[in-house]
A and B are shown apart, each in its own frame.
Chain A
Amino acid sequence: MNIMIKIFISALLLFASTVQAVEYQQFQVNQSALNFAYKQMGVNMQGKFKQFSAQMAFDPAKPVNARAHFEVNLASIATGSTDADEEVAGKLWFDAKTYPLASFTSTSVKALGANRYQVSGKLTIKGKTLDISTPVTIQTDGKRAIFDGSFNIKRLSYGIGTGEWADLSTVADDIQIVFHLIVFAAPVIPSPTH
């Protein structure tokens, strides 16, 4: 068989497979949000991270193959006060100079039914890696997928807020992470005639 025909057929097959299975993998950072909530002196507080990136791939037909990797710029935290933003970037909290990024890498995705999936993976903050697992709601419409969910971490298990801040009566141990992620479907591969 002519080598050109071989390439043509492989391209065609590849095209066919991508049309069949919509895979969401174009992460939209500007439409996504990474927020957190915690208690300070009994008061509910909220904040967000302004800079984060993700590589994601999700095919509703094959959720077990889904994968996600996140990186969060910890210095981009917005607590609502400049003083607090500077403090949490410091050594006792994130130590963002030494550990600028927090990361999450998925290890498994299981379908729970009704657009819900159990996502497990490894969360690394301040050089410490711990396993986490959280249900995620994923809505898809063929063009984009919306991932929503939240999970709690214990800040002290990552050494976040040590020294004088280790007193949990001021800033509580439980930190709720709330994510809203938008991922577009992969662009259609151009037809082989081009």
Chain B
Amino acid sequence: MKRYTHTAMALHWLMALLIPAMLTLGHYMHDLKLSPLKLQLYSYHKWLGVSLLLLALLRIIWRLTHQPPALYLPRWQQLASSAVHDLLYLLLIAIPVSGWLMSSAKGVQTVWFGILPLPDLLEKNEALGHLLGKVHGSLSSVLLILIIMHIAAALKHQFIDRDQLLSRMLPGTSATGNLP
């Protein structure tokens, strides 16, 4: 079984840690009463969101320039797999961008780590800000569902099919080794 490159693995597992944390944080902070903690959490969420957007862009560039290891699966599974992966990539861009746009529309500029100001892409507009908030939340719910499908499929291959598919994304020694 051929594996993904170490770079692809590092990006995958880093995002695998950060994205569930972000989904949880986003859901939690949204319902908080206004407090310094809420303002701090919103800022951290934005900083991490911009970081994840950059990681996603890096990852997509890497994916487009590096052939993933071949999959030997039934046709329907190949189609399902690429559909879920394409949607995942799409959401990894669309969710942070919708958050950035929401922040602009709500009149709160996004300043990455409190240092680097990102341009406001929209004029302040309360109704649009509210709408973008709904979009951001809905897309995040779709992402959560896709992540669950993604994990469920990986576990099915690992423990039911026992086809070693998961090892493509895991470092380790094998006869074929890692792709360059």
Contacts and interface: CB of A to CB of B under 8 A. Distances in A.
B64 interface: no
A83 interface: yes
A165 interface: yes
Contact of B43 (A41, A44, A80, A167): A41
Contacts of B110: 43
Given A165-B36, A170-B39, A42 B107 contact: no
Nearest to B42: A41
Given A80-B106, A80-B124, A170-B40, A41 B114 contact: yes
Interface string B22-48: 000000000000111001101100000
- Which among B34, B43, B106 has the highest number of chain A CB atoms within 10 Å? B34
B36 A170 contact: yes
B175 interface: no
Residue of A41, A44, A164 ringed by the most chain B CB atoms within 10 A = A41
Contacts of A84: 34
Interface string A137-181: 000000000000000000000000000110100110000000000
Interface in A67-101: 80-81, 83-84, 87
A185 B165 CA distance: 83
Nearest to A42: B114
Interface residues of B, number: 17
Interface in B4-35: 34-35
Interface in A33-74: 40-46
Q: Bin chain A's interface residue count.
A: 10 to 19
B111 A42 contact: yes
B51 interface: no
Nearest to A40: B39
B136 to A, nearest CB: 16
A87 B110 CA distance: 22
A83 B34 contact: yes
Contact of B40 (A41, A44, A83): A41
A41 B39 contact: yes
A42 B114 CA distance: 5
Contact of B36 (A42, A45, A167): A167
A88 B115 CA distance: 26
B109 interface: yes
Contacts of B114: 41-43
Nearest to A84: B34
B111 A43 contact: yes
B39 A87 contact: no
A164 B39 CA distance: 12
A44 B118 CA distance: 12
Nearest to B43: A41
Nearest to B103: A43
Contacts of A46: 107
B34 A87 contact: yes
A44 B124 CA distance: 14
Given A40-B108, A43-B109, 8 more contacts: A41-B42, A41-B43, A41-B111, A45-B108, A80-B124, A80-B126, A81-B106, A170-B40
18 contacts: A40-B39, A41-B39, A41-B40, A41-B111, A41-B114, A42-B43, A42-B111, A42-B114, A42-B115, A43-B43, A43-B109, A46-B107, A80-B106, A80-B124, A81-B106, A84-B34, A164-B36, A170-B39
